[in-house]
Structure 1
Amino acid sequence: MTLAAFFDTHLAILPVLLPAATAVLLLLVGDAAGDTSGQHGHHKRLWARRIALASVALGLVLAARLVLEADAGALRVYRVGDWPAPFGIVLVVDRLSALMLLLTACVALPVLVYASGGWDAHGRYFHALFQFQLMGLNGAFVTGDLFNLFVFFEVLLIASYVLMLHGQGRERFRVGVHYVVLNLVASALFLVGVALLYALTGTLNFADLALRVPQVSGPDALLLQAAALILLVVFGFKAALMPLAMWLPATYAAASAPVAALFAIMTKVGVYAIVRVHGVVFGAEAGDAAFTVQPLLLPLALATSVVGVLGALAAHTLPRLVAWLTVASVGTVLAALGLFGAAAWSAALYYMANSTLVIAGLFLLAELVAAQRGEVGARLEPASPVAQPALLGTLLLLAAASTAGLPPLPGFIGKLMLLQAAQPHAAAVAVWVVVLLVGFLTLVGLARAGSILFWSVRRELPSAASGASPRLVLATVALLGLGVAMSAFAAPLQRYTDAAAAQLLDRRAYAEAVLGPQGLQTRTTRPYRIAPEAPR
């Protein structure tokens, strides 16, 4: 087998193996933070940065390759150990998975460049932990079964626990304890939901679940609905769905800027899981368990948007304002998912990609601004003038316009797609009112912050001596620029998200690709029984 053929055969698992192998290599290189030998420690840190950046850049190339392949309609299935599904571990890359891999890489590379400007030296094993988190994120997006989704959830969460405390500090430790405890409770509930699903269907493979769930009826269907609701609690907590989102603002605001920016993609793992489980497995063809969460998801999502933007208006620091906007953007995405239609799901995917990039960029921008305001820092109160008012002010203006949904920026396109998709829905008026109101209040909140940061300055105080380093500015511009650039490629991106939404709803094609034609026939013609029939 040639190297190209080997690469092509194992392409689906490389986004998981690459960060895992990189993390191990970085651990072998050692941690410069624990090296007191000066020059030797500097060389260690330099090599760690080079290895980590090269790995993430290669991951971006792999993700782009998978997106191009998925855009052509291919659905790549990788059976670990060549065990047939649903009995073995299977990885599946469709349009949605490929999009999420690319989005993760597009966030990770600028964030790592930013962190390599000095933040990685504030704690131990930053780069190894960063790679482990990427492993968990990528694994969650490509896994084809619910149990391994739980496994990759735990991998990314364990890494996030330590990254959350990176740089230390009393406030980080305080909110970090809450973050760990709440996630442990959510993980326990995840196992309960998984156990119920397995007991009722005999499988955890997504493709097989989509075939088995419609066969469950009677009293067992009620238990199946209970399992779906338990999983909604778990995924809703991860995605920051109200009333389960109150942990997020304090946690993200307390984290260091690059860590908070990386965490912007972490909430999307919960969104992704809701699409896979509640949108597809418990979707229109789920029999007695069809649309189990529909009565809850849309109203809770709209409430999430409203509470998020109100929290942003009340925020007293710029990082906390951005953290609340994270909640508001998640609410908008989940509202689109709650409409349960191909057009609405396409809008959700488009808006999610844009909002993730912009929110991640805003976390980096918040630290750049705070570093130039003296002792006041990120607090929204008058301070000395910043050293780079034109650059930082322009970046904030572009981010605010896109987040609020002003034309012709991508945030406007995503919200317009959502409003058009909501027209035939019974809750169309509520969706229109909330989306437009949240957009207006988002603009008000960011305009208020901008006026305080750049206009309400105290001239008697000395300005910052110098601006941010080119590395930090470049990383921030890259993230915000990617978000803005989506408007230039709006048509092909919308075609991709339209095709991704349609592919999600084609459950039979997904099942045939994963299980094979013979496996599909076997699983549909032999219904699963909870217990054997009593002998006659």
Structure 2
Amino acid sequence: MMQHLIVLPILLPLLSGLAMLAKRDASVLPRRAIGMISTGLLVVVGMLLVAQSAGGQITYYALGDWQPPFGIILVLDRLSALMVCLTSFLALGSLAYACAGDDMKGSNFHGLFQLQLMGVNGAFLTGDIFNLFVFFEILLIASYSLLMHGGGKERTQAGFHYVALNLAGSAMFLIALGVLYGTTGTLNMADMSLKVAELDPNRLGLLKAGAFMLLVVFGLKAAILPLYFWLPRAYSNAPAPVAALFAIMTKVGVYAILRVYTLIFGGKAGELADFVQPWLWWFALATLALGGVGVLSARDLRSQVTYLLLISVGTLLVGVSMNREAPIAALLYYMIHTTLVSGGLFLLADAIGEQRGKASARIVPGRGVTQPALLGLFYCVGAVTVVGLPPLSGAIGKALLLESALPDEQPWLWSILLLSSLAGLVAMSRSGSTVFWKAGRRDSEGPRLKAMMLTGLILLLGASPILSILAGPITEFTRASAVQLLNHGAYVEAILPHNVAGGGP
């Protein structure tokens, strides 16, 4: 049974999603039950995968028993297990919140939600770059409909821009795959990493062009500057549970850059070794700075959270560009923190908007919230951790990343990261004082938090204190994940044992 565990993060949401789409006329309660049970089981599977990978072994699952490099394979290592577990936990909190009523504002919400989980998990587990494209398309198709769930003019316009840009990205992805396959003769990541190192120098220019096109595609998914402009409008107009789940979408792009440009174009790639890192460093710093400016200019809570998410993207990609064990370990811890907290803040912004009535989530004085003490507590926890104040997980993640910088990197990283954190602190302080302190004395007549809304908020925002308490074992796991990721030979030996002589980092 354990050897089939790796395929369950794809099969579970696929089967439950198809079942709910097939029974479109069923009442909402059975669909909620199926969705919550399936996502809960996914959390259990994710935890089992983390436990299975903790020993350091890299395993693969050959679909149809076609062995690599010819067949479709799913690969489990520490990094992919961590990302699947993180996705399932985020999905559980988002789905719990949606079950309070957001799921009834449109059709097929639960089926599409599960299919998006299938696409995200598949992207993290695949060992084949063509199937990375396939899973990208699955998660994007589901996200198109989820983004426009419930309708409305603003949401439809934002969805149109999102669809158009991602269709262009998908076309470029396919062209890049054609270039890579034409030059290397393979699409298996482990096999391609060997072929790149041995490639005829006359074909390196074409291969480099394909690699740059891939970087543009992954940069679009991750929302790096200057490819970020779709994100603020799409995320700020999406339904709250969908925006919360979308917190993992940018991480899919970051993961793809991390995986492809350490395995295929990493230190063993000959003349193309680590060639994108210098480019990535400056674009990541620029994204970080832009996020700081954006969060100060935001005029509503949803937009503010979106720009805080953009700051986190820049922070993560700075760690990727540093391309060493310590910064990669730090960014993996920070990724867990920012994904869960950003998702929780999207839910919290929606809850505040519901209770303020006409004032909604705009950062203006007006009607207060119905439950100021409870929502204020959630807001305080979210604000403290998202801007990186001790003692919560945001401070730990940023401190680890700052500590990992080399002397020539420190002036840029320390100044821009700390200034963006200061911008976040100013923005969150301003919005918190406006929403909670400058509100009218009379309580809002808005609805109180439902049990499932409260559950979603606790699961996501409550993760930050837990991450702080368990920082020791979690950072130990992320450090081991970074070591394994940079050990090119170990990955290739696990997938193609007869094609590599040995391996070191």
Residue 498 of structure 2 aligns to which amino acid in structure 1?
Q
Residue among 353, 360, 367 paired with 2:336: 353
Contact 1:229 1:292 in 2 (8 A): no
Report the counterpart of residue 436 of structure 2 in structure 1: 454
Report the counterpart of residue 37 of structure 1 in structure 2: none
Q: 368-377 vs 95-104, which deviates more?
A: 368-377
Q: Establish whether residue 498 from structure 1 lines up as the match of residue 479 from structure 2.
A: yes
Q: Establish whether residue 387 from structure 1 lines up as the match of residue 370 from structure 2.
A: yes
Report the counterpart of residue 15 of structure 2 in structure 1: 21
Contact 1:355 1:483 in 2 (8 A): no
C-alpha separation in 2, matches of 1:230 and 1:451: 45
Kindly state the Cα deviation for residue 217 of structure 1 after the two structures are TM-superposed. 4.3
Residue 476 of structure 2 aligns to which amino acid in structure 1?
R
Q: Establish whether residue 242 from structure 1 lines up as the match of residue 225 from structure 2.
A: yes
Residue 74 of structure 1 aligns to which amino acid in structure 2?
Q
Residue among 511, 514, 518 paired with 2:498: 518
Deviations 1:429-472 (A, max 9, x none): 1011111111111111111110111011133x652255211221
Say which one has the larger Rg. 1
Point out where structure 2 has 5 or more consecutive residues left out of the alignment: none
Residue 63 of structure 1 aligns to which amino acid in structure 2?
G
Residue among 417, 422, 425 paired with 1:440: 422
Tell me the SS of whatever aligns to 1:373.
helix
Residue 449 of structure 2 aligns to which amino acid in structure 1?
A
Report the counterpart of residue 111 of structure 1 in structure 2: 94
C-alpha separation in 2, matches of 1:279 and 1:454: 46
The within-5 A match list for 1:94-105 is: 94-105=77-88
Deviations 1:105-145 (A, max 9, x none): 11001111111111111101100000100000000000001
Contact 1:208 1:511 in 2 (8 A): yes
Contact 1:165 1:172 in 2 (8 A): yes
Report the counterpart of residue 38 of structure 1 in structure 2: none
Kindly state the Cα deviation for residue 279 of structure 1 after the two structures are TM-superposed. 2.5
Q: Establish whether residue 182 from structure 1 lines up as the match of residue 165 from structure 2.
A: yes
The within-5 A match list for 1:208-287 is: 208-287=191-270
Q: CA RMSD in A?
A: 1.4
Residue 518 of structure 1 aligns to which amino acid in structure 2?
H
C-alpha separation in 1, matches of 2:455 and 2:369: 18
Kindly state the Cα deviation for residue 423 of structure 1 after the two structures are TM-superposed. 2.6
Q: Establish whether residue 471 from structure 1 lines up as the match of residue 465 from structure 2.
A: no
Contact 1:23 1:132 in 2 (8 A): yes
The within-5 A match list for 1:62-461 is: 62-424=45-407, 426-459=408-441
C-alpha separation in 2, matches of 1:295 and 1:335: 10
C-alpha separation in 2, matches of 1:364 and 1:462: 21
C-alpha separation in 2, matches of 1:185 and 1:66: 34
Point out where structure 1 has 5 or more consecutive residues left out of the alignment: 1-6, 33-43, 525-536
TM-score by length of 1: 0.92
Contact 2:100 2:451 in 1 (8 A): no
Tell me the SS of whatever aligns to 2:421.
helix
Deviations 1:240-265 (A, max 9, x none): 10010011011000001000000001
Q: 1:280 to 1:375 in 2, by over 3 A?
A: same
C-alpha separation in 2, matches of 1:341 and 1:212: 23
Tell me the SS of whatever aligns to 2:468.
coil
Kindly state the Cα deviation for residue 405 of structure 1 after the two structures are TM-superposed. 0.9
